[in-house]
Amino acid sequence: MTVSPMPPRSRPLLLSSVAGLAILASALSLGACARHAPPAAAVPARTVSVTTVTARSLAGGLTASGLLVSREEAAVYPQITGYPVAKVLVEAGARVAKGQPLALLDDSLLRAQIDQTVALVAQQQVAADQAAEQAQRIEGLEGQGVLSVEQMDQRRFQARGAKAALAAQQAQLSDLKVRDARMVIRAPVAGLVLERDVRPGDIAAQGSTPMFRMARDSLVELSADTPEAALSGVRVGDPVQVTLSDGTTLAGAVRLIQPDIDANTKLGKVLVRLPVRDDLRPGGFASAVFAAGGRPAPSVPETAIRYDADGASVMVVGDDDRVSEAPVKTGAHAGGYVALVQGPPIGARVLQAAASFVLPGDKIIPSPSAR
């Protein structure tokens, strides 16, 4: 039996049909394999140690430094000008009482003016007494023809004029006596003389430089530069341990927290009240440790804080054991713990180790010992 060859025109059709059947068979084979393949294994949750935000008293945590300053300064200027200084009675460092003489002005010229005015007052007193007596003599003589009305009025006016002139001289004498009292430069307040800038022979003048600078009641305090984030953890009245440059330690207390923050340094000023001592000198350096009054504050282990370009944060564990990142502001550090000035509330769960390889959104298995 003889087989006739296939026409050349039919061969491409046959080849394409065979190729189509091969592709279909391959697809059906892959589908069957996919139905029988096991599902991909889920990523297991990581077991991580978890701690809670607790209230702790971190005494002595916040440390700051600054300069000793006068609590209130008094500038002493002369109240009258143009007179030379005769004597300076105190030096810088002296402790003086309120009203105590500090310097004397040369009053020789003023005393001469006072003596002259005293003589003029006495002279004017005689003239006033004479005019008053003459005016008294004409009382009751109206209408009797002894003196004319014009003459009687003239005597009365002379008496009144002499009395006014006497009052003017007495007022001038009082002014000179006030000036004389101010020839003594006195301390306006009790306290410590910080600076003396006057010498005998200087002419008293109301210039920009005072004769003396004083610290009222000798009160010197510490102006501590404190980070902005830590200011909210400081309260007026909190105890403070202050260390002077020579190592001496003093017990102080927060007197005032300045309301403004330095725009360049981002530091605030905390004024610390100190006891009155001879070794406290304005301009000196001192450091301070704020005890925060023993108040408990939300705290976490130092290992729970993570730092990056955005600042400090902790990893908070939610009720569903998923992790989220929360920014915080830290305060005092002590005993391996750090106070949270701003952050999660007390009782919140956080990762005990910020370096754990956990990302926000991850689900974890809290460690049973710390849950």
pLDDT category at 278 given cuts 50, 70, 90 is confident
pLDDT category at 143 given cuts 50, 70, 90 is low
- What percentage of residues in the chain have a pLDDT greater than 90? 50
Q: What is the pLDDT of residues 70-112, one digit of tens each?
A: 999 999 999 999 999 999 999 999 999 999 999 999 999 999 9
Check residue 61 and give its pLDDT: 60
pLDDT category at 156 given cuts 50, 70, 90 is confident
* DSSP 3-state percent helix, strand, coil across the chain (nearest 5): 25, 35, 40
Residues 6 or more apart in contact with residue 146 via CB below 8 angstroms:
138
pLDDT category at 147 given cuts 50, 70, 90 is low
7 vs 171 pLDDT, higher one:
171
**Dihedral over alpha carbons 226, 231, 233, 236 (to 10 degrees):** 90
Of residues 99, 100, 80, 98, the one with CA closest to residue 90:
100
- Comparing 50-64, 121-135, 161-175, 214-228, the range with the smallest average pLDDT is 50-64
Indicate the DSSP class of residue 293: G
Q: 253: which 2 tokens?
A: 């207390």
Q: Which residue has the tokens 């297991």?
A: 44
Q: What is the pLDDT of residues 185-227, one digit of tens each?
A: 999 999 999 999 999 999 998 877 899 999 999 999 999 998 8
Q: What is the pLDDT of residues 113-132, one digit of tens each?
A: 999 999 999 999 998 888 88
Residue 311 has pLDDT above 90, yes or no: no
Fold of 50-57+296-366: 2.40.420
* Cβ-contact 131, 157 below 8 angstroms: no
pTM over 0.75: no
142 vs 39 pLDDT, higher one:
142
**Dihedral over alpha carbons 90, 95, 100, 105 (to 10 degrees):** 20
Please name the CATH architecture into which domain 62-70+219-290 falls: Beta Barrel (2.40)
CATH, range 73-106+183-214: 2.40.50.100
Distances (CA, A) of 90 to 10, 93, 96, 98, 281: 131, 9, 9, 14, 18
